[in-house]
Amino acid sequence: MKKTNAVVRFLSAHHARSLPTLRVALGIAALFLFFEPGRVNASPTIVTGGEYLDQAGHNQACFWKDGACVSLDKPTGPIKSSMVYSLAVSGPDVYAGGSATESSGVEAAGYWKNGVWVGLANPHGVRRAAVIALALSGPDVYACCECYNDAGVDNAGYYKNGNWMALPNPLGPYKATVWTLALSGPDVYAGGWIEDSSHMQKAGYWKNGTWVGLAGPFGNEHRSEVRSLAVSGQDVYATGWLYDARNVRLAGYWKNGAWVSLDNPTDRTTHNTAQVLTVSGSDVYVGGSSHKGSEPASAGYWKNGDWVGLKGPEGTTDGSVTSLLVIDSEVCAIVTAYDPKTNGELTGLWKDGAFIEPANPRGPSYFAWVNALSSDLVQSGAPDSQ
């Protein structure tokens, strides 16, 4: 079954320091597989993207391939820092979406193609913007972007080959956010949420520019969000969360508009979080975190509704899975956690039962972070559904 690329991306509290309206307490990375057309690659190459601290203490955009760090040149001008929020791969070409921040503090959106910066102008003028998801379909490059207007309100939309495609809020001139992109044939899906006049968030997605609202079992009056999309055949999956009448955050996903709840494996009275979804054959994987009472969150994922916990490095707490990749039934994941030794966030790749931290080229005593996790799977010369 031939499909086009779908790249899913998640932001973190680390990056929320430069984009204050982004509220997910996660790490940032992207994971990709390279496959030769027409066959399954027995030994795929893993690529992760993110940033490290340079000698001036600023974020330097980069990606890691085969464990080696590849720095991405900052655009010309008074650029202070840069970050990678998303990756996409097509043959030999590597696209890294993110932002570059000037010394004035203005964050500009764009992406690197094979290390060359392609800037994307905010349609509202010189305002904060960042590419938070990338997707490729043939020669076309889609870039999901957070773009703020003069009032500081995020306006939903994406770029196609550099042209801005606005996604309207059907409820009026209120905030709308796109968090994830998925492509299937000629159709473009953009998932996120909109706000109503009372600033209540309502989950859903735009299909070819038309809003499709997603309601939970409690009705639309409870706050909800879409964080990840996947299209498999005729089925559309959207994961995220909603709040019940107790104001408890419930994880789950929508399949063709119907809510599928994912139980907290330890305590149904406390929050749990769904961040990312991927479909492999008939299996549905959802990554996120769960809580037990007042204890810190635990990282893990649900496979067909059953919880699988993933332990971060010794001594870390408050973990979460921000991305998942399934390779021949084996799961790779980006895990983020709080490290009390540094009083900061620790991110890394969970693979083969081990947590692998990203390497800062300046040495092991300097910080580096990885971002969302996605895949580029090729069958018979065409990308698969995720």
Q: What's the pLDDT score for residue 12?
A: 34
Per the structure, the count of domains in the chain is 1
Q: Which domain holds residue 177?
A: 13-383
* Spatial CB neighbours of 255, under 8 Å, sequence gap ≥ 6: 235, 236, 237, 284
| C-alpha distance from residue 294 to each of 269, 270, 318, 340, 368 (Å) | 11, 8, 11, 17, 29
Domain containing 136 — which CATH number?
2.130.10.150
Q: Is the residue at 274 inside a domain?
A: yes
Predicted confidence at residue 44, as pLDDT, reads 66
* pLDDT the model gives residue 326: 86
Which pLDDT score is estimated for 178? 92
- 323: Cα separation from own chain's centroid: 7
pLDDT for the residue numbered 259? 92
Any domain includes 286: yes
Is 6 within the bounds of a domain? Answer: no
Q: What is the model's pLDDT at position 38?
A: 37
Q: Bridge-partner residues for 370, per DSSP?
A: 50
Say what the pLDDT of residue 332 is: 85
Would you say residue 3 lies in a domain? no
User: What is residue 113's predicted lDDT score, i.e. its pLDDT?
Assistant: 94
Give a yes or no: residue 74 inside a domain. Answer: yes
Within a domain: residue 238?
yes
In a domain, 296, yes or no: yes
What are the 10-residue block averages of pLDDT along the chain, 386 residues in total? 34 34 34 38 70 91 86 83 88 87 84 93 75 91 81 82 93 90 95 91 96 85 87 94 84 94 70 89 92 81 93 85 83 88 88 87 87 48 32
Tell me the three-class secondary structure of the chain, residue by residue: CCCCCCCCCCCCHHHHCCCCCCCCCCCCCCCECCCCCCCCCCCCCCEEEEEEECCCCCEEEEEEECCEEEECCCCCCCEEEEEEEEEEEECCEEEEEEEEEECCCCEEEEEEECCEEEEECCCCCCCCEEEEEEEEECCEEEEEEEEECCCCCEECEEEECCEEEECCCCCCCCCEEEEEEEEECCEEEEEEEEECCCCCEEEEEEECCEEEECCCCCCCCCCEEEEEEEEECCEEEEEEEEECCCCCEEEEEEECCEEEEECCCCCCCCCEEEEEEEEECCEEEEEEEECCCCCCCEEEEEECCEEEECCCCCCCEEEEEEEEEEECCEEEEEEEEEECCCCEEEEEEEECCEEECCCCCCCCCCCEEECCCCCCCEECCEECCC
Report pLDDT for 269.
62
How confident is the model at residue 372, as a pLDDT?
A: 53
Confidence at residue 277, expressed as pLDDT on a 0 to 100 scale:
93
Is residue 1 situated within a structural domain? no
User: What's the pLDDT at 150?
Assistant: 67
